[in-house]
Amino acid sequence: MNAIVEDIHDPHPDIRVIRLRVTSAPVTWLAGQFMELSLPGLPSRPYSIASAPHTGVLEFHIRNTNRGGVSQQVRSLKTGDTLTLRGPFGTATRGSADQDPMILIAGGMGLAPMKALIDDALYHGHPGPVTLYWGARTQKDLYLADYFTVLAQANPVFTFVPVIEDRGDGLVGDAAIRDPVPLPGASIYLSGPSPMVQATIPLLLAQGAQTGKIHTDDAAGRLLLGTP
């Protein structure tokens, strides 16, 4: 399907946020899913949808890896340009009627699908608690910290826990299991570097999290969970 670039901004020197509107046919997606994005002459790449479905606008957060691929070419996009998408794909989603406590654990760019899940949950009146743990090396890497701080002030059911390695907070998965959250009943979402996902799953299971309630699209993480 074709999509037109409606808006571009760079909240961090390496991260570009693009908003697209599909022009070829209406697209529906579930919070937490991803799409394959194609640019001319390059192999396509998957990117998580960072916007909730009710917005009707597809938002992607893309970190430039500087290796000549899609994430670098995205730096040349301008508003009004057209690109090609496939999807949506992925099963680390939530039903809009799901009222279980939500724990979202993100490393780095793993934040993108979590933003969609949180915005979707709050839009549908989730009773809470909804808790986001977002880990990064430095404060500057938490490029949407202000967004989630304001969201938490406006929504008492939502808590934002930044986990910054450089100030000694440790790893994001460890931070999540230290808190007295109701792990056995919670829906838990994991997204980020595969080693982070793989290290965190056993910690969650050891604390009583239910296998069927841990959601990730990380292939190695899904193997650990025994989910197809």
Ligand X SMILES: Cc1cc2nc3c(=O)[nH]c(=O)nc-3n(C[C@H](O)[C@H](O)[C@H](O)COP(=O)(O)OP(=O)(O)OC[C@H]3O[C@@H](n4cnc5c(N)ncnc54)[C@H](O)[C@@H]3O)c2cc1C
Where along the sequence are the contacts to ligand X (CB under 6 A)?
Answer: 34, 41-43, 45-48, 61-63, 65, 67-72, 109, 112, 217
The minimum distance between CB 42 and ligand X, in angstroms, equals 5
Angstrom CA distances, 4 to 18, 20, 41, 60, 73, stand at 10, 5, 18, 13, 16
- In the bound state with ligand X, the residue whose beta carbon lies nearer, of 79 and 194, is 194
> Among candidates 118, 134, 196, which has minimal Cα distance to 169?
134
Measured CA to CA, the distance from residue 12 to residue 189 in angstroms comes to 24
Kindly give, in sequence order, each residue whose CB lies less than 8 Å from that of residue 119, ignoring residues fewer than 6 positions away: 31, 51, 52, 55
Report CA torsion sign: 178, 113, 28, 223. negative
Measured CA to CA, the distance from residue 116 to residue 73 in angstroms comes to 24
State the amino acid at position 163 in one-letter form. V
- In the bound state with ligand X, the residue whose beta carbon lies nearer, of 50 and 183, is 50
The minimum distance between CB 221 and ligand X, in angstroms, equals 11
- In the bound state with ligand X, the residue whose beta carbon lies nearer, of 63 and 155, is 63
| Structural contact between residues 190 and 201, judged by C-beta atoms closer than 8 angstroms | yes
The minimum distance between CB 214 and ligand X, in angstroms, equals 16
The minimum distance between CB 155 and ligand X, in angstroms, equals 23
DSSP classification of residue 125: T
The minimum distance between CB 106 and ligand X, in angstroms, equals 10
- In the bound state with ligand X, the residue whose beta carbon lies nearer, of 7 and 179, is 7
The minimum distance between CB 125 and ligand X, in angstroms, equals 27
- In the bound state with ligand X, the residue whose beta carbon lies nearer, of 72 and 210, is 72
Return the residue nearest ligand X (CB atom): 69
- In the bound state with ligand X, the residue whose beta carbon lies nearer, of 90 and 101, is 90
